[in-house]
Amino acid sequence: MNLSKIVIAIDGYSACGKSTTAKEVAKILGYRYIDSGAMYRAVTLYFLDHHVALTNPKEIHRALQQINISFKINAKGITETFLNGLSVEEEIRQMRVSEQVSPVSAIKEVREAMVAQQRKLGKERGIVMDGRDIGTVVFPQAELKLFMTADMMVRAFRRQREWLDQDRLVDLDDVVENIKKRDLIDTTRAESPLRQAEDAVVIDTTHITIDEQVDEVVRMAFSKIVSMRKTTR
């Protein structure tokens, strides 16, 4: 095993800064970043575009066999999500997908397919993966597990600003509504609900900046790598 390559699992509620932190940490450590939420979003987009009935297991099974999700780093160094060979990075962030992604990701068969793919992607280690069940289900052996949380209004403001940066005007009440709905479904679903792993470190991002979040995680990762080196000497 290459000791300088650990698995970092970042879980937590929607819009707490998980992916921004994960991307930056991966860049600093020279690790691969995998956005597991983007995979559930890509499945949701496919289901919407192909009118897959969420209550029909046969249709779901058939659809999942038609779906191929991959990631590529574009010329700007940004990771883009591809669905069956086409970049869907922008489409999967739209409200119509955000509104349906939690019910879709609560489906057992969808989760099984995504978890299998996520484990494959993490085989080579040296990855930072963010999501809802990474430290609990996908990589229960991850060397570093983080659980991110933040005040609801701070999360909603941040998400609204992200959309504004892309010239998309979204009402704050709609953002709050969407986040609340997703939190509820994500934490109460039967299949691997969002919960904090026992050995996860909690990071509350309400009063800290992205830079502070990133510094903290990088510091924890280095300290983990150093302590692992010491124990194998």
- Segment interacting with ligand DC (CB under 6 A) among 36-44, 62-70, 81-89, 220-228: 36-44
Q: Does 205 bind ligand DC (CB under 6 A)?
A: no
Write the Ramachandran bin of 52: left for phi over 0, alpha for psi from -120 to 50, otherwise beta: beta
SS3 8: strand
Residue 210: closest CA among 35, 29, 27, 17 = 17
Q: Does 186 bind ligand DC (CB under 6 A)?
A: yes
Q: Does 41 bind ligand DC (CB under 6 A)?
A: yes
Cα–Cα distance for residue pair 82/88, rounded to 1 Å:
6
Cβ nearer to ligand DC, comparing 133 with 143: 133
- Segment interacting with ligand DC (CB under 6 A) among 33-41, 69-77, 167-175, 219-227: 33-41
Cα–Cα distance for residue pair 76/225, rounded to 1 Å:
29
- Segment interacting with ligand DC (CB under 6 A) among 126-134, 147-155, 173-181, 205-213: 126-134
- Judge contact between 126 and 224, C-beta under 8 A: no
- Judge contact between 194 and 132, C-beta under 8 A: yes
Minimum CB separation of residue 187 from ligand DC in Å reads 10
Minimum CB separation of residue 55 from ligand DC in Å reads 19
Minimum CB separation of residue 179 from ligand DC in Å reads 9
Which of 34, 88, 101, 179 contacts ligand DC by CB under 6 A?
101
- Burial-class residue 110 by CB neighbours within 10 Å (0-12, 13-18, 19+): buried
Binding site for ligand DC (CB under 6 A): 14, 36-37, 40-41, 101-102, 105, 131-134, 182, 186
